[in-house]
Amino acid sequence: MSRELRRLTGPEVEKFHESLSNWGRWGERDQLGALNLIDAKKRAAAAASVRSGRSVSCARALDTVLSPENTAPVLHHMIGTATEQWGGDWFGIAPHGFATSHVDALCHIFHEGRLYNGYPIERVTAHGALELGIHELASGVVSRGVLLDIPRVRGVGYLEPGEPIVPEDLEAAEAQANVRVESGDVLLVRTGRWALRAERGPWNPRERLAGLYASCLPWLHSRGVAALGCDGVSDVVPSQVEGVPMPIHTVAIVAMGLHLLDNLELEGLARACAEEKRSDFLLVIAPLVLFRGTASPVNPIAIF
């Protein structure tokens, strides 16, 4: 497929904070951002789309091993074993980063002293986030999920690290899958990261990782995407926008109020979509109710 990357400048991306802003759209005290696009009718329609009943996890196993991509491994300590005559354990998890499947709260990213909806960054305190914490998602996210498989549409097993995805790729993947991303959908984008890792081994994703280029931001806004997930971190790394290291995270979270799901496991989902001959499904996301937290480990479940 012929693709040409039209590079954006830092000032062009900065303008997205105004042109794509959802501040005040759902009220001055809004805590949910683009999740407001999911209403009861949308959830009911997604539930009614279930046909085979097949369910697929979209999460990686919690990684306790230090590696280039996992610089803050999950701590897992056994406090009850055969010796104690009961089974028990303790987990310590730093959800952000490039290893753990997690959902970012809207308090995660700052821009020019503000959070989403204009809240001052001082609302994120030593005692947790007083606005936009992950506990605001206590009732979960239930909607239609859509998988766009970019390697498949390009005829490869995976994208190379640092390879950007542009809106034309998203639309080509839609056309191949005979699906269209609509308002209130949760969009999942596969880059093939874990297929690449299985073949070549781990690398440092802070240096290079496939993902969405900043030009995808107006597309996400115009389609009314309610939340965005990826097997990477959504952003292409490096961003290829001078002076703006993570434009998807910064504009999507702060300006658009878009919750991001990072480091998902989408290989099994891609196989299921191919076998079920559909790329849309009921998606259920249930973050932990971590009061005032900035993120939560998450296990999204796709149901066909």
Task: Quick: pLDDT tens for 289-298.
Answer: 999 999 999 9
Q: Are 31 and 132 in contact (CB under 8 A)?
A: yes
Q: Which two tokens stand for residue 196?
A: 């690449």
pLDDT, average across residues 7-27: 98
What pLDDT was estimated at residue 6? 87
Nearby residues of 21 by Cβ (< 8 Å), 6 or more positions away: 255, 256
Residue that has been written with the tokens 């790394």 in this structure: 237
Beta bridge partners of 165: 212
Amino acid at 57: S
pLDDT tens digits, residue range 151-188?
A: 999 999 999 999 999 999 999 999 999 999 999 999 99
pLDDT band at 3 (very low <50, low <70, confident <90, very high): low
Amino acid at 16: F
What pLDDT was estimated at residue 257? 98
What pLDDT was estimated at residue 2? 42
pLDDT band at 255 (very low <50, low <70, confident <90, very high): very high
pLDDT, average across residues 181-198: 98
What pLDDT was estimated at residue 252? 98
- What is the spatial distance between Cα 20 and Cα 220, in angstroms, rounded to a whole number? 10
pLDDT band at 5 (very low <50, low <70, confident <90, very high): confident
Q: How many CA atoms lie within 13 A of 53 on its CB side?
A: 0
**Sign of the C-alpha dihedral computed for residues 254, 225, 131 and 233 taken in this order:** negative
- C-alpha distances in angstroms, 284 versus 53, 77, 119, 223? 13, 29, 28, 20
Residue that has been written with the tokens 């005040």 in this structure: 24
Full-model pTM: 0.97
Q: What is the mean pLDDT of the chain?
A: 97
Of 167, 189, 183, the C-alpha closest to 261 is 189
